[in-house]
Structure 1
Amino acid sequence: MCKDIPWKTLSEAYAFVGNSLLRPMTMTSPVGLDPAFWKAFPVFDDNAVARAVEACACYAEGAAQRTGAGEDGPQRVSVEYTRLFVGPPSPAAPPWETMYRGKDVTVGFGQPTFEMRELLRAAGLEVRNANNQYEDHMGIELLYLSELCRREAMGEGAAEVADIAAFVERHPLSWIGPFLDRVSEAVPGGYFAGLLLVAQRVLEHHARLLAR
């Protein structure tokens, strides 16, 4: 069932998005503003993924033009990051799964946090970050999935493929849509709206492969 799944490539794609959601661009790499990066980004022979990646390439091309006019691209994206995921006064698009599991949830620590904490513990993983993020942060969920894919690619997978499929469906894929809606509403046409659309399309593609 899993022989035709590009585990290594999926791992790399999830790792890029996951890391991008955990720290502002001024503290990481500006590679997401390089059109060549997106031209080389895997599309998995999936038209929906390809369209999302092309939108990110277009954003990067616009950013390159603005840089030529004197704009600091990484700073602009970092300001967007802060508005969306940090605040003040509060994140415009909270990046924790708990906030999307029910109506009018205002506390970012709930059952999904405990579920992710247990999954990370069972996989021998530990969250280490200066911001002390809850374990159900989208970036952490994608990095966890990246590690599962890496282990499958290396023949080290301890999880059943069915368990990976269940994780994709129950966790990141179940709430990335409403999360993306919040991001797009707060910053239409921004960097993170494009990035999260890529993640959503890759998750959807991966879920279809896992369901075969």
Structure 2
Amino acid sequence: MAQVDAQAWQTFAEAYAFVGNSLLTPLTQTPHVGIDPAFWQEFPNFDDVQVTRAIETCAAYARGAAALPEDEAVQRAAVEHTHLFIGPPSPAVPPWETMHRNGGTSVGFGEATFAMRALLRGAGLELCNENRQYEDHLGIELLLLSELCRRRAEALEGGANASDAAEGAAKVLAYLEERPRSWAATFHERVAAERPGGYYDGLTALASALLDAQAHLLS
């Protein structure tokens, strides 16, 4: 397993936090940085071709959005979020892992939900579930990964020895592979098919690319 320094862990943590929050919350309720082309110029690509390509997709959308009045650009992204992930009558692309397992299911509460609930509890985290989301929402899975990466950065900055560092990285990799990476690419394909070229086409491509890049780095 490759050695990953504290700064890389922290950068991954920040990238996952941005994407996770963006998938959970429409643009009307968050800062509008995702439709600012300058934001994407500074977004870390981790020297990865797939991540770089996804960032360019996001930047291209932002350049188009910049030609619109800001309120209109924000509203368009929010409408897309509602259509894809909320409904009515139901989400066009359900954002919960359970619904992308074993060929898909219409039941939104399954093994992945219980597993994520246990993982959050084990990490000492409590879900502030104002929107009553299932715990296996991709945004929540990415936010947990963000926190795990942040803790790795903190441990390394605190002087963790090589053995502890390797064990901690292996645990993050195991979670990454078993949970978000195992279905993020499929999720992106469905979003892209439903709204090609949309705001969330780029964001879900970025999520999948970041997970692939970190998995390769840690393997």
* Residues 135-144 or 45-54, more deviating: 45-54
CA contact (8 A) 1:31 1:37 kept: yes
Q: Give distance in 1, aligned partners of 2:50 and 2:192.
A: 18
Match of 2:30 among 28, 31, 49: 28
2:198 aligns to what?
190
Q: Give 5+ residue unaligned stretches, structure 2.
A: none
Q: TM-score, normalised by structure 2?
A: 0.91
1:137 aligns to what?
137
Q: Does 1:61 align with 2:63?
A: yes
2:126 aligns to what?
126
Q: Give distance in 2, aligned partners of 1:184 and 1:47.
A: 19
Over the aligned positions, Cα root-mean-square deviation in angstroms equals: 1.6
Q: TM-score, normalised by structure 1?
A: 0.94
Q: Cα deviations across residues 99-126 of structure 1 (Å, max 9, x unaligned)? A: 0111240011100001101111000001
Q: Cα deviations across residues 19-75 of structure 1 (Å, max 9, x unaligned)? A: 0011111011111000000000000011111111011111100100123xx861111
2:80 aligns to what?
80
CA contact (8 A) 2:54 2:206 kept: yes
CA contact (8 A) 1:2 1:161 kept: no
1:153 aligns to what?
153
The structure whose residues are more often helix, as a share, is 2
Q: Give distance in 1, aligned partners of 2:31 and 2:51.
A: 23
1:114 aligns to what?
114
Q: Cα deviations across residues 137-166 of structure 1 (Å, max 9, x unaligned)? A: 000000000000000111179973212111
Q: Does 1:43 align with 2:51?
A: no
CA contact (8 A) 1:173 1:203 kept: yes
The number of residues matched between the two structures is 209
Deviation at 1:177, TM superposition (A): 1.3
1:194-205 mapped onto 2 (5 Å cutoff): 194-205=202-213
